[in-house]
């Protein structure tokens, strides 16, 4: 099997699974309990929090545990809207966000908030000048993804942060679900970014784990009310085995980050160089510093994306249409539409998303199968 769908989810690493199992079996106390067993659980919870913070060079009290990227995005967006509603009801995001951001914004719109969706260029990237023009006196939040999940575009986070230094009352949120371990931590964590959302299953941690970074001094309203966990910000008994496993996964991913990025870039370039030779292939992703190293989106004109996915599946090669979260609903490719790619090409798009376990030999096998399938598709058309 060749698994090229790592942006959808990653395989949990053996060492991470081992941590999850050990904590589940040995430290199952509730971190909120007063007895010694609960104290052990609480200590491990805080140890995991500190480990993550140290790895990301932030403060431990700026890490809040969640169930994943979707909850993190929902919490920051809606939590900001609630917390700052008396100061304004205008929010800014981009036209290429993940559904967790887009649908949160649309829900707020139905509740009377105003949303500005920034346009993108032919590479799926916003203009900071457009962002500046969109800011109003009643703007309370700017939300921009770090890495586009469909084609891999890296947004101008540093430039946006520099602009927003002139608007200190606006919350700046980053969806960095596709960004951990991809060499862009310095873009994500700067002194003007207020909130960042992460999802554990995107970097070899268990599903149902995640966290947000919330900069000191910035407040959002809680969405989960109850027992007051996470400093009264996110109630609910903490998923301690998952959190401890996630902390280990981050360490393992960051330890091998430089080597993994180099390998992913080589694999990506090998595939690009080959498929670019075919007349009916349209490539949307670049292999340079303006794109993430692990995402490659392309289309074969005249062939539906789901047809391409299932054709590769017969050879036990797993890729996806542009977003796993919407592919089963046959949604059109949102990013490509925002880029004004013609619909007949956008619906032919597929995504390869690499991980640190993929190899050049797998890329060579993919190329071999691609040649066979392209010839079959060409005959059918």
Structure-token pair, residue 213: 């970074």
Contact 271, 367 (CB under 8 A): yes
Which residues, other chains included, contact 149 with Cβ-Cβ below 8 Å and sequence gap of 6+?
Answer: 7, 98, 177, 178, 295, 323
* Residue tagged 């457009």 (tokens): 130
Contact 205, 176 (CB under 8 A): no
* Catalytic one of 17, 99, 283, 325: 325
Q: In a 10 Å sphere around its CB, with 0-12 CB exposed, 13-18 middle and 19+ buried, how is residue 60 labelled?
A: middle
297 is catalytic: no
d(CA 255, CA 123): 31
d(CA 364, CA 41): 47
Helix (H, G, I), strand (E, B) or coil at 150: coil
List beta partners, residue 212: 64, 197
Phi first, then psi: give them for residue 142, nearest 5 degrees: -120, 125
Give the DSSP H or E segment for 14: helix 14-26
Which residues, other chains included, contact 317 with Cβ-Cβ below 8 Å and sequence gap of 6+?
Answer: 1, 2, 4, 365, 366, 369
Which residues are designated catalytic? 325
């Amino acid at each position: 099997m060749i698994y090229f769908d790592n942006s959808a989810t990653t395989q949990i690493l053996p060492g991470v699974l081992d941590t999850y199992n050990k904590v589940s079996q040995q430290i199952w106390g509730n971190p909120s309990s007063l007895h010694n067993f609960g104290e052990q659980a609480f200590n491990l919870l805080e140890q995991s929090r500190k480990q993550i913070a140290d790895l990301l060079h932030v403060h431990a009290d700026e890490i809040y545990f969640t169930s994943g990227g979707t909850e993190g995005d929902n919490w920051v967006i809606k939590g900001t809207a609630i917390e700052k509603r008396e100061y304004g009801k205008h929010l800014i995001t981009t036209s290429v966000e993940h559904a967790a951001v887009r649908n949160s914004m649309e829900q707020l719109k139905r509740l009377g908030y105003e949303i500005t969706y920034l346009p993108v260029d032919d590479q799926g990237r916003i203009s900071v000048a457009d962002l500046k023009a969109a800011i109003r006196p009643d703007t309370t939040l700017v939300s921009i993804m770090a890495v586009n999940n469909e084609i891999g575009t890296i947004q101008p986070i540093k430039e946006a942060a520099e602009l927003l230094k002139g608007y200190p009352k606006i919350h700046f949120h980053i969806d960095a679900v596709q960004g951990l371990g991809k060499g862009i931590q310095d873009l994500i964590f700067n002194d003007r970014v207020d909130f960042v959302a992460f999802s554990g299953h995107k970097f070899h941690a268990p599903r149902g784990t995640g966290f947000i970074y919330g900069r000191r001094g910035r407040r959002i309203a809680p969405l989960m009310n109850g027992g007051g966990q996470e400093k009264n910000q996110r109630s609910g008994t903490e998923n301690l085995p998952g959190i401890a496993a996630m902390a280990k996964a981050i360490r393992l991913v960051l330890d091998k980050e430089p080597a993994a990025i180099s390998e992913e870039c080589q694999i990506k370039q090998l595939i690009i160089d080959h498929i670019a030779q075919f007349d009916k292939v349209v490539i949307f992703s670049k292999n340079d510093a303006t794109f993430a190293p692990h995402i490659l989106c392309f289309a074969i004109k005249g062939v539906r994306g789901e047809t391409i996915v299932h054709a590769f599946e017969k050879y036990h090669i797993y890729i996806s249409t542009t977003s796993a979260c919407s592919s089963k609903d046959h949604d059109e490719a949102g990013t490509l539409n925002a880029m004004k790619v013609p619909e007949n090409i956008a619906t032919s798009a597929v995504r390869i998303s690499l991980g640190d376990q993929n190899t050049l030999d797998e890329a060579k096998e993919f190329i071999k199968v691609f040649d066979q399938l392209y010839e079959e598709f060409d005959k059918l058309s």
